[in-house]
Amino acid sequence: MRLLSRWIFAVIAGAAMSGLVAVPASAAAPGFRDYNACQPEYVYSVITVYGNTFYGLPGGSYKDYNGTPYNAIATFTSTVTGTIGTSLSIGGSFSLSAIVAGAQATTSATLTVSVAAGLNNSIAITVPPYHFGHGSWGAWRWYTYGEYYYLTDRCTVTNVSYMKTWVPHVAPGWNTWISTT
């Protein structure tokens, strides 16, 4: 069997040298131009998750005082509209979709590049006696710190940047709280 394998190899090699059989360049030089070990892409890899933070739209804060000795319901209705986007701690040109994908993979939340917060969205909260109820209209955003880089087709990392990011959830929302002032 071994003798037969060597004989077949010798016949093919002889045919290739004489020009009777065409051998592709990739077969002649294994590994040459065989780069596609990795999918070239921009990557954001989260190092630290600081938590969920709220971004309130300017003019979207509401306050109501309960001056009774009983619990009361305060209803807030949004009267401002706006778009809340992804924010970065450094300037430059970056793939926001890569940043959203990295933050989403780490936080398991459904995130987006930007979210629109519209009018007439209401929320009702219970305000204890002699307290203030507060509401702010905007969007919750995940606050992370991570490494942004380009992964080449040879699986090497280039153009590394470290940054903090604030990536919004896919839906706008309210932040509510109770205080004495």
pTM comes to 0.74
- The b/e string for 1-26 (b: 16+ C-beta within 10 A; e otherwise) is eeeeeeeeeeeeeeeeeeeeeeeeee
Whether the pLDDT of residue 48 is over 60: the answer is yes
Percent of the chain whose predicted confidence (pLDDT) is above 90: 79
pLDDT at site 20: 47
138-181: per-residue pLDDT in tens?
A: 999 999 999 999 999 999 999 999 999 999 999 999 999 999 99
Integer Cα distance of 126 and 133 in angstroms: 8
Domain extents for the chain?
Answer: 1-34, 36-179
Per-residue pLDDT band for 22 (boundaries 50, 70, 90) equals very low
Question: Taking residues 63-90, what's their average pLDDT?
Answer: 97
CA nearest to 87, candidates 100, 78, 76: 100
Q: Which residues neighbour 76 within 8 Å (Cβ) at sequence distance 6 or greater?
A: 62, 64, 122, 123, 124, 125, 133, 135, 137, 174, 176
The beta-strand segments (E) located in the chain are: 41-66, 72-77, 82-85, 87-88, 114-117, 122-127, 131-151, 157-168, 173-179
Integer Cα distance of 36 and 158 in angstroms: 16
146 forms beta bridges with 46, 163
Integer Cα distance of 43 and 95 in angstroms: 8
Contact status, residue 130 vs residue 67, Cβ threshold 8 Å = yes
For the chain, what is the mean pLDDT?
A: 86
First to last CA, the chain: 92
Contact status, residue 61 vs residue 134, Cβ threshold 8 Å = yes
